[in-house]
Structure 1
Amino acid sequence: MSVYGQVPEKTVNIAANLLSGIIFKDQIPFYTFCLMIQLNWFKTAFRNIRRNISSTIINVGGLTVGFSGAMFLFCLLHYHLSFDDFHPNKDRIYRIVSETNNGTISRYQGVPQPVGKAFKNAYPYAEQVAMRSDNGYSLVTVGEGEDKKLFQISSAYTQPSYFSIFNYPFIKGDASVLGVAGNMVITQKEANRLFPAGDAFGKSVLVNGRLLTIAGILKDLPPNTVNQRQLFISYEDYKIVQPWMASDSSWIAISGGVQCFVLLNKGVNASAVDNALPQFLKQYHPDKNTSLKLSLQPLKDIHFNLNYDGDIEKKQLWGLAVIGIFLLLTASINFINLSTAQIFFRTKETGVRKALGSSNIQIRVQFFIEALLLSLFSLVLSLILVILLFPSFNDFCKTSVSPEALYQYPFVLFVLGMVLIISLLVGYFPGRMLVKLKPVEIMRGYFQQKTSGFSLRKILIVSQFAIVLFMVSCTAIISNQLKSAIQGNLGFKQSGIVLLDIPGERDKSNTITALRNRLSGLSGVKSVSACYASPMSVNNNTSDVVYDNRPPEASFEANIKAVDTGYLSTFDLKLIAGRNLYAGDSINSIIVNEAFLKKVNVTSPEQILGKTIKLNSKPTPIVGVVKDFHVGTFHSEIVPSYLYSKMNYYYSCAVSIDPAQLTKVLPLIEATWKEVYPEKIYSYSFLDEDIKQLYETDITLLKFNQVFTFLVILLGCIGVFGLVSFMAIRKKKEIGIRKVLGAGVDNIVWIFVKEFVRLLLIASAIAIPLSWYFMDKWLTDFAYRLHIGPYNFFWPVLLTFALVIITISVKSINAALANPVKNLRNE
């Protein structure tokens, strides 16, 4: 039989057309000839895509998943990396931060209030210096009588120079109005909320009970800025509300909310300022022996530094970027593997092309165009999917990424580059394999014999399996660590506790007493406690401790909490020595934890009873010891802590309720709270949910890992299914002969399984050490960490093997059950 007898008629027609164009190219214009060639490439590409519809569906599905995931991750990374990049002088903006070392290193984003004024006067380093004191969510009252409305708005006391440092433009008014007490500025969004029917400019409102005038309106702050405040009150009002904290004498007080921002002069090096700050403290700080250190933090570091109230670390972002790369790699590997697997069906076509004069470049271009068309089609589907899921994406990531990001040039360049690179890679490998062979070898089936030993595909399969195993293992370890951190023994009760806000008032004693008494009488309420904060909370205070009349230089830092007598029973803190606190509004006794005992080298809880701690220069006796409890997350160790009673420091009310009566008792709690505070806005939270919020960044990382691990597994299974499908077609004669000779279904399935099991074992040997190494690095951020052992990889490996074998079996069983006579006749 002649060579041409083995070639499909369509392929012969393509070759004849191509030959005709080559022969008669001198009779038509050159550019017309080039256009004909290009159109022919696309026509051929469309025909091949349509002919191999099953592989087209697999490739397009895999690429759509990969492209969509990569696009979402790019939007997330670009959003975080763009924080505060819109300020013209962003490279000269810094925040002064604090660090103390009294046995334990503590870092604060705040500074003593006098730092700003003293720094401005002491050195010519800064063009502008501004203090800002956060005021939390302020209660804003608009109108009177029946028209009165209540709002909660995030606020801060700010100096006018704050708006000379940051680029937050005014719509009405200017920053100078903040130099006058009683003035405030507000964002346009909040102004419209307060006065939807009229202009808010010049109006007066009550803010936390004080009458203030809206003297300026700002453009809405962009979501990608660290300074998310909506209402700015004159710093002169801070001096009225908190006279001591706002004075030039409050050097010993450090609050995370009192922050100092500086705009350095052009040409000033930040390291030179850091070198001058120790001398600055010696000159201005009243306590010459203080352990306080000051340093400059660049504006671009604020969002990424978790030591100073940052939101996410850059290494976590790069981890997400790696996940996106893995997803794209998996989709690309599928595409390349399926393309190379199809070469067996394209050899004769290529042989005819080469025999009729096609160059190697033309053959490679043909494969590139086919890959490009599939990539572009997948891109369109991905963009549709991304647009539809964008709101869910923001909810999932707790971000405010604008959909407009999809039309900006960074995203467009990323997408085009992604499509082009993948198309080049996918088009390169099949073309590279075919152009090496001579037409005669192709026609004689030489290539069919060589493809069975082709190593590139095995390398890619191993890489794909390694990625799947790596991500499954990492996800399992992260999940176990966070589960032990959130659900583990924290040293206190966390379920069934509702936390209510206690509004700030000058005299809280009457309202707090009334609230506790009324809540305690409700059916379904077990116990009630008024306190500064729950045992584990974002709200923590620390203080230098002088124990048992030791010299001041032997002081150390301890966590302090103002609590009432119901605190131990409400949070189930275990008293192991001594007694509970007595009721009262004066600091007359103290309870410490076990970590406090270790710090002062006391071995027995009973030995510390009766010893004293100096509070406000007054020795106060220790009357009890409780078992250790976590005041921070598992990222930090349990620190020395003590509890005392001080009613004016109570800002939270903890209510322990019967979970079975939750739906019944919550409305009763709300009604009771509103009876005590009729002019305030009611809000509550559950303690266990608040604790989860402390691990928000870690939980988000885990969710991303889970979602993208699922997608990687899905892509891996799709790829394996496609490869087995092509193996079944190529091996159908072998399968038919084996069945005729008596082979069972299990024997046929093993032909397919054994090739992949060997590759899975190699992938395991690569993925397990890598995931062990990177997870060990990640766990170093936890003071109480999971210990990684071989058992951590048993289930991930078992799951991966099971999924791959099931995927292989689905197709191989069909091949094994096929009629062998039909397969042999078709061959």
Structure 2
Amino acid sequence: MLKNYLIIACRNIWRNLGYVSLNVMGLTLSIASCLVIFLITKNELSYDSYHRKADRTYRVTMNALDFNPSVSMAVTTALRTDFPELEEVSQVWYQPEGIVKIGDTRYVEKGYSFADQAFLRTFDHQWLAGDPKTALSAPGSIVLTESIARKYFGKEDPMGQVMEVDGEKGLRVTGLIKDLPGNTHFPFTFLISCETIAKDLAGVKHFYQIMNANTYIVLPEHYDIAKLNSRLPAFIAKNWGNDIAKEAKLVMQPLKEIHFDQRYLISITPTTSRNTYRALAVVALLIIITACINFVNLATAQAIKRAKEVGVRKALGANRSQLIRQFLGETSFLVLLAVIIGCLAAYLVLPNAAQWLDVKISAAQLFQPGVIGLLLAITALIILSAGLYPAFVQSSFRPVDSLKSGVAAISGRGLTLRKGLVFVQFTISQVLIVGTLVVAAQMDYFKNRDLGFNKEAVISFGIPENAKKDVLRDQLRGNPGVKEISLSSGAPSYNSNYASFTCPERGITKDDVTEIKSVDEHFMDMFAIRLLAGEKIRKNNPEDTTRYIVVNETLIHKLGIHRPEEAVGMYIRAAGRQCMIQGVVQDFQSESKHKDRRPCILRYTPQGFFTASVKLQPSDMHSTISHIESEWSSLFPESVFRYEFLDDHIASLYKQEQKVYTAFRLFSSLAILIGCLGLYGLVAFAALQRRKEVGIRKVMGASLANILALFAKEFFVLIVIAFVVAAPVAYFIMRSWLENYAYQVSIGGGIFIVAIAVSFIIAAVTIAHQSLKAAFANPLKSLRVD
């Protein structure tokens, strides 16, 4: 019996190879897409979960005027003394960039840290060499990641090798670990023992000496975090006084929440909302639903062609359960074929997809138990959802009706269901189209609109400490490819310095927070920052007791002033200094649009000039940059020239959103493509069913337009009905997504017009081929009796 079923299945597949290919292709694409999406969402939603103590690990953060992920290293020392019950208290001092010297070769590396021995006990790393119990216990110890060790020492054994980092000489490699996974909030290239800088850290006593340092604690098992939180105010008061205890508090941030918590000022890695990746998982579900709809539609359509076969088999004694097993078996065979091809496709495309989507996932992860379990569940789901109904439909045909006139007797059966499923497909497609358009509009808004300054053709690079800044500026100005140059603490979109401010003159005695930028007199002109009132930044006399500043609109609004002219000449106290407002500028974007714009102060303080920003002439920028590098090397032979285009930096602020947009665009397109495959198959079958009708219409004088309208009208009606349902659903979903951002695009009617227009175009293109094929067919062949 099994052999008979297999022979019949193979004959049926060969006889309907076109429809079978469409079904298998749709399922293959959906399975491959779902596997890739699953790995992406699993990677993104499981940040830091791979640490064994993740559920008991917290980052100690500060909430005073704002949320700050860093605390003073004095807090770490006091925690160890006052909370001896804590399993671990670890401190790590992150360095965004450093110069590494191996022999005579220098490298610029991003993201290394000074860490204590407790850090290695708090977090789990895969050790390749060295002892994790002692690797960072001695001064001058350094632990490298595998790729960095290979970069510095090639195939040599890195253990015991000596290197220099940012002037710290004689650092000896005491450990080697595997590269960190992509889903960590704290990436680093290497770790240097905190004992190396013990003298510097010993001087950190004040609560607000933060220095970009992070502190982590591990609670004992079954220890209630609420118990610790209740003791923290008294802990602050005991060590730093009641005044600080009143204005600041320590917040214990769960390790697994760090990547998703967007409240904090500065993050080493971009934070994101969990809902973003949950939405991507929903796209995967919609892809599977679309593929199942295709299968059911084409299978029920094919059932009509097999009506006589069913009638004959029933007449010869086959019962309904046998027919159901046969047809369900054929479905299982096709689904398993699609699963095998889909897995192979995912395995082949995953490396390129990971690179394109900028996530650290590998093809090897497809063999993890969780992925295999998901695959088995998807396979079972597709077989049951896509196979049961067609099997019951095919087995339910009455022999008399089937044998009397075959297709004519039962062609209406299942038509309502197929229309309903096509309606669902169009609804899904339009929701995805609207979603993709909204995400694209928000990405465009992030990158290009309302920045408040000119970012074109500007590069920024750091200035070495104690550098001759005036000499550098004069030499760069002599380059004909340099249009303008400004020295500052950072270009407009860079921010790192925050301070409190008050204005007793306006009755504001409680501290508020402001960003402070040290800039020279050329900063505003070079970046085209608009002056609203007063004067631009100018050089200050070092002997002046009053500091002259320029502030943004947001700051004067905090003072209760709405006319910029009224703020000029007013005094505020910022960063412990009396400051007079000499000018007001239009707000500009100094950080990402995830958050509201903050108050900002521009001041002339040469000791804070750590960055040079150069506006290049548009012609031959590559040659100009090479010339700048040459001049740099002659001035600072011990440093490595490293620059960044300002627009690239701005784009990096939205790295997470760019990944999401790329993924949405890719997988939404695949979902729509899968829907098109099903629609194409349905139109092809409809053309086959109605070939005699088309032949009669042509003989009676029907035009090409009439034939096209015959096939298109029912689908276009379904598009309109689907749009009525999809529009409010898409609006609600995307409105909720946009609420994650302080600055948002509006979801206008134009987006919905584009969505329905795209749906019509997709349907028209999909329908056109088979419709034209039917329209141009010879009517004599169409009318010939089968």
Q: Which residue of 1 aligns with 2:310?
A: 350
Is the aligned partner of 1:711 residue 2:641? no
Is the aligned partner of 1:428 residue 2:403? no
1:745-760 to 2 correspondences below 5 Å: 745-760=704-719
Cα distance in 2, alignment partners of residues 183 and 217 from structure 1: 8
Q: Bigger shift: 675-684 or 737-746?
A: 737-746
Task: Give the direction of change, closer, same or farther, for the CA distance of 1:155–1:175 in structure 2 (3 Å limit).
Answer: farther
Residue 499 of structure 2 aligns with an amino acid whose one-letter code is S
Contact 1:500 1:683 (C-alpha < 8 Å) held by counterparts: yes
Question: Structure 2 residue aligned with 1:211, among 134, 148, 169?
Answer: 169
Task: Give the direction of change, closer, same or farther, for the CA distance of 1:276–1:448 in structure 2 (3 Å limit).
Answer: farther
Question: Structure 2 residue aligned with 1:248, among 187, 205, 211?
Answer: 205
Cα distance in 2, alignment partners of residues 566 and 175 from structure 1: 53
Task: Give the direction of change, closer, same or farther, for the CA distance of 1:621–1:236 in structure 2 (3 Å limit).
Answer: farther
Q: Which residue of 2 aligns with 1:379?
A: 339
Alpha-carbon deviation of 1:125?
Answer: 4.6
Q: Secondary structure at the match of 1:793?
A: helix
1:72-103 deviation line (CA, Å, top 9, x unaligned) = 111212223443333222221111222234xx
Is the aligned partner of 1:150 residue 2:111? no
Question: Structure 2 residue aligned with 1:784, among 743, 747, 751?
Answer: 743
Q: Which residue of 2 aligns with 1:520?
A: 477
Is the aligned partner of 1:273 residue 2:228? yes
Is the aligned partner of 1:472 residue 2:433? yes
Cα distance in 1, alignment partners of residues 218 and 77 from structure 2: 14
Contact 1:613 1:620 (C-alpha < 8 Å) held by counterparts: yes
1:319-398 to 2 correspondences below 5 Å: 319-398=279-358
Cα distance in 2, alignment partners of residues 78 and 49 from structure 1: 37
Task: Give the direction of change, closer, same or farther, for the CA distance of 1:747–1:550 in structure 2 (3 Å limit).
Answer: closer
Alpha-carbon deviation of 1:776?
Answer: 0.9
Is the aligned partner of 1:634 residue 2:593? yes
1:510-589 to 2 correspondences below 5 Å: 510=468, 512-537=469-494, 539-548=495-504, 553-583=509-539, 588-589=547-548
Question: Structure 2 residue aligned with 1:497, among 455, 458, 464?
Answer: 458
Contact 2:427 2:722 (C-alpha < 8 Å) held by counterparts: yes
> Considering only aligned residues, what root-mean-square deviation do their CA atoms show, in Å?
2.3
Residue 87 of structure 1 aligns with an amino acid whose one-letter code is H
Q: Bigger shift: 206-215 or 591-600?
A: 206-215
Alpha-carbon deviation of 1:798?
Answer: 0.8
Task: Give the direction of change, closer, same or farther, for the CA distance of 1:679–1:584 in structure 2 (3 Å limit).
Answer: farther
Q: Secondary structure at the match of 1:783?
A: coil
Is the aligned partner of 1:201 residue 2:159? yes
Contact 2:106 2:640 (C-alpha < 8 Å) held by counterparts: no
Q: Which residue of 1 aligns with 2:218?
A: 263
Q: Secondary structure at the match of 1:370?
A: helix
Higher CA-based Rg: 1
Cα distance in 2, alignment partners of residues 567 and 89 from structure 1: 48
Q: Bigger shift: 582-591 or 736-745?
A: 582-591
Contact 1:737 1:820 (C-alpha < 8 Å) held by counterparts: yes
Alpha-carbon deviation of 1:215?
Answer: 5.0
Contact 1:735 1:816 (C-alpha < 8 Å) held by counterparts: yes
Cα distance in 1, alignment partners of residues 366 and 230 from structure 2: 44
Q: Secondary structure at the match of 2:547?
A: coil
Contact 1:561 1:642 (C-alpha < 8 Å) held by counterparts: yes
Q: Which residue of 2 aligns with 1:119?
A: 79
Q: Which residue of 2 aligns with 1:76?
A: 40
Is the aligned partner of 1:282 residue 2:282? no
1:695-706 to 2 correspondences below 5 Å: 695-706=654-665
Task: Give the direction of change, closer, same or farther, for the CA distance of 1:763–1:169 in structure 2 (3 Å limit).
Answer: closer
Q: Which residue of 2 aligns with 1:27?
A: none
Q: Which residue of 2 aligns with 1:128?
A: 88
Task: Give the direction of change, closer, same or farther, for the CA distance of 1:721–1:616 in structure 2 (3 Å limit).
Answer: closer
Q: Which residue of 2 aligns with 1:603?
A: 562
Is the aligned partner of 1:720 residue 2:679? yes
Alpha-carbon deviation of 1:679?
Answer: 1.5
1:722-763 deviation line (CA, Å, top 9, x unaligned) = 101111111122222222222222222222112111211111
Contact 1:177 1:183 (C-alpha < 8 Å) held by counterparts: yes
1:338-383 deviation line (CA, Å, top 9, x unaligned) = 1111111111111222222323222122222222222232233323
Contact 2:146 2:179 (C-alpha < 8 Å) held by counterparts: no
Q: Mind listing any 5+ residue stretches in structure 2 that lack a counterpart? A: none
Cα distance in 1, alignment partners of residues 32 and 757 from structure 2: 29
Task: Give the direction of change, closer, same or farther, for the CA distance of 1:618–1:633 in structure 2 (3 Å limit).
Answer: closer
Alpha-carbon deviation of 1:769?
Answer: 0.6
TM-score (norm 1): 0.89
Q: Which residue of 2 aligns with 1:24?
A: none
TM-score (norm 2): 0.94
Q: Bigger shift: 360-369 or 611-620?
A: 611-620
Q: Which residue of 2 aligns with 1:39?
A: 3
Cα distance in 2, alignment partners of residues 707 and 188 from structure 1: 33
Q: Secondary structure at the match of 1:480?
A: helix
Cα distance in 1, alignment partners of residues 412 and 87 from structure 2: 71
Task: Give the direction of change, closer, same or farther, for the CA distance of 1:85–1:555 in structure 2 (3 Å limit).
Answer: closer
Q: Mind listing any 5+ residue stretches in structure 1 that lack a counterpart? A: 1-36
Cα distance in 2, alignment partners of residues 382 and 210 from structure 1: 52
Q: Bigger shift: 191-200 or 634-643?
A: 191-200
Task: Give the direction of change, closer, same or farther, for the CA distance of 1:462–1:616 in structure 2 (3 Å limit).
Answer: closer
Contact 2:147 2:179 (C-alpha < 8 Å) held by counterparts: no
Cα distance in 2, alignment partners of residues 211 and 421 from structure 1: 61
Task: Give the direction of change, closer, same or farther, for the CA distance of 1:649–1:239 in structure 2 (3 Å limit).
Answer: farther
Task: Give the direction of change, closer, same or farther, for the CA distance of 1:552–1:117 in structure 2 (3 Å limit).
Answer: farther
Residue 636 of structure 1 aligns with an amino acid whose one-letter code is K
Cα distance in 1, alignment partners of residues 688 and 271 from structure 2: 53
Contact 1:593 1:640 (C-alpha < 8 Å) held by counterparts: yes
Cα distance in 1, alignment partners of residues 776 and 107 from structure 2: 73
1:478-493 to 2 correspondences below 5 Å: 478-493=439-454
Q: Which residue of 2 aligns with 1:6?
A: none
Cα distance in 2, alignment partners of residues 174 and 664 from structure 1: 48
Residue 611 of structure 1 aligns with an amino acid whose one-letter code is M
Residue 332 of structure 1 aligns with an amino acid whose one-letter code is C
Residue 213 of structure 1 aligns with an amino acid whose one-letter code is L
Task: Give the direction of change, closer, same or farther, for the CA distance of 1:271–1:475 in structure 2 (3 Å limit).
Answer: same
Task: Give the direction of change, closer, same or farther, for the CA distance of 1:570–1:264 in structure 2 (3 Å limit).
Answer: same
Task: Give the direction of change, closer, same or farther, for the CA distance of 1:736–1:203 in structure 2 (3 Å limit).
Answer: closer
Q: Bigger shift: 307-316 or 460-469?
A: 307-316
Is the aligned partner of 1:56 residue 2:20? yes
Alpha-carbon deviation of 1:312?
Answer: 3.3
Cα distance in 2, alignment partners of residues 177 and 730 from structure 1: 76
Alpha-carbon deviation of 1:293?
Answer: 2.6
Alpha-carbon deviation of 1:449?
Answer: 4.0
Task: Give the direction of change, closer, same or farther, for the CA distance of 1:182–1:585 in structure 2 (3 Å limit).
Answer: farther
Cα distance in 1, alignment partners of residues 406 and 17 from structure 2: 27
Q: Which residue of 1 aligns with 2:31?
A: 67
